[in-house]
Structure 1
Amino acid sequence: MIKKKKDINLNNENMDDMTMEEIDKEMNDFYIDKEKIDDIKYSFDKDSIIKEAIDKAEVDICKSKNKKRYVKIADRIVILLSIGVYSPALAYYVKPVMAVLEKINDVLKVDEISAALELDTIIPKAVVEDNKIHFVKITRYKVDKTKESNDSNNKNTVYDEYGVVNFIHKMSNQIINPADGKKFGVIKITPKNIEIALNSINNIKNKEAKEYLEKELTKWKNGDFNNAVEVHNYVWHMLDGQIGIASTLDEKEINKIKEKYFK
């Protein structure tokens, strides 16, 4: 603390009237009291200030981490919801959730859009088989749209590749509901026609498609038509379909077939 015994009066107006002795005396009266300086106390607690700053920094860091965590959680929820809407069967073990996802899928016409964009040839879709979730990736293979040599049900084999695929397509049309309400051709599903389709599969040139369709049509042979939507859309892609993608099973038609042929 700086202390003065009395104010130093050294302004220009008085300087000329003062002698050197008076000036020296004025300067000597101005002094620093060392004891007072030593007794000076800090008006703040530096440790407390440092701790407060650190605590605030930790709170800010925690808030930042929580914000990032919430953003990540929100992102994951959006991703999971998107995947679920694209493939509702993923929620098979939580039936109420699956029902909601199927409803959203239907309202937004997700299957129709993904088919138009051919997303289902890139991203596999979940299906349920034997109470288990499996994944089906639609083939990118396209058959040549040549004239069908035969697709009638009065012969044992369809030899034309396009004819085989279209034969299966028309059979599946009987037991599915198209998203846009449009079907092009129906062949009745009978044990005889299922056998014709299975006998004709070897005329499909693509190995992946051949193996998939043989496996799925064997289920039809045993009276299991739960895969009809997937089978329809698989061959629909092979035929380069533009309209008429399947969205749901026609349970009424399936029950008729089971009652008649698979009691």
Structure 2
Amino acid sequence: MNKLWVGVIGAVLLLTAMGVYFIASLDQPGEKVESVDNIEETTGESASVTRTSGESSAENPFGEDVKTPLSEKLMQQYIHAMSHQKVAAKEKWSFFEITDERLAFLQNQLEVQQYKNETLYADILSSWQSGDFSNAVSQHNAIWNLQDGSIGEATGLLSPKEEEAFKQDWGKETR
């Protein structure tokens, strides 16, 4: 019986120490923490808090307080969420309106950080900055595949009318 109690107390102490270490490592003083609002199709959870074009912070035009340079995962998430403005898909769990400010911010991240899929991101951002969204379906699906997406594959481009309706409908859903 004593051995059982020693084991239980040891396990509790170990778990407590691990919890304290984990919590302490989440938010170091003066350091920005990567957003937890970006749970996406890769996890199957729709817990993301999305923002539209009206919200922004001084540093990040996506309106989130995140560590920069952006992680690969967050770079993908921002491009993916913006692509939803242009593509038809059965499910869309995130959305950020495509703006010049956001495109420039992401382009700047490519200049200060190296990414595994940097060429893909640069090609997407370059075409979008020039107003070319003709490949948005394949661009969305390329990012979606990198995120191991299983739901929400893009199936076509939205017409300008459908795009406006999507932006208006999304704004109503997030209010």
**TM range, smaller chain:** 0.5 to 0.7
Greater RCO structure (CA 8 Å; 6+ sep): 2
The one-letter amino acid paired with 1:177 is A
CA distance in 2, matches of 1:240, 1:204: 21
Contact 1:174 1:189 in 2 (8 A): yes
Instruction: Report the TM-score, using the length of structure 2 for normalisation.
Output: 0.52
Shift of 1:253: 5.8
CA distance in 1, matches of 2:150, 2:35: 19
State the partner residue of 2:115.
205
Question: Do residues 239 (structure 1) and 147 (structure 2) align?
Answer: yes
Q: 2:134 aligns with which of 226, 241, 252?
A: 226
Shift of 1:160: 2.0
For the residue of structure 2 that corresponds to 1:216, the secondary structure is: helix
For the residue of structure 2 that corresponds to 1:199, the secondary structure is: helix
Deviations 1:172-213 (A, max 9, x none): 0111001xx21010000111111122222354531xx21122
The one-letter amino acid paired with 1:168 is I
CA distance in 2, matches of 1:161, 1:200: 10
Q: 2:78 aligns with which of 156, 167, 174?
A: 167
Identity across matched positions, percent: 27
Instruction: Report the TM-score, using the length of structure 1 for normalisation.
Output: 0.36
What is the number of equivalent residue pairs in this alignment?
106
Contact 1:150 1:158 in 2 (8 A): no
Q: 1:194 aligns with which of 103, 107, 115?
A: 103
CA distance in 1, matches of 2:160, 2:150: 26
In structure 2, stretches of 5+ residues that fail to align are 1-33, 39-50, 61-67, 165-175
Larger relative helix fraction: 1
CA RMSD of aligned residues (A): 2.7
In structure 1, stretches of 5+ residues that fail to align are 1-146, 257-263
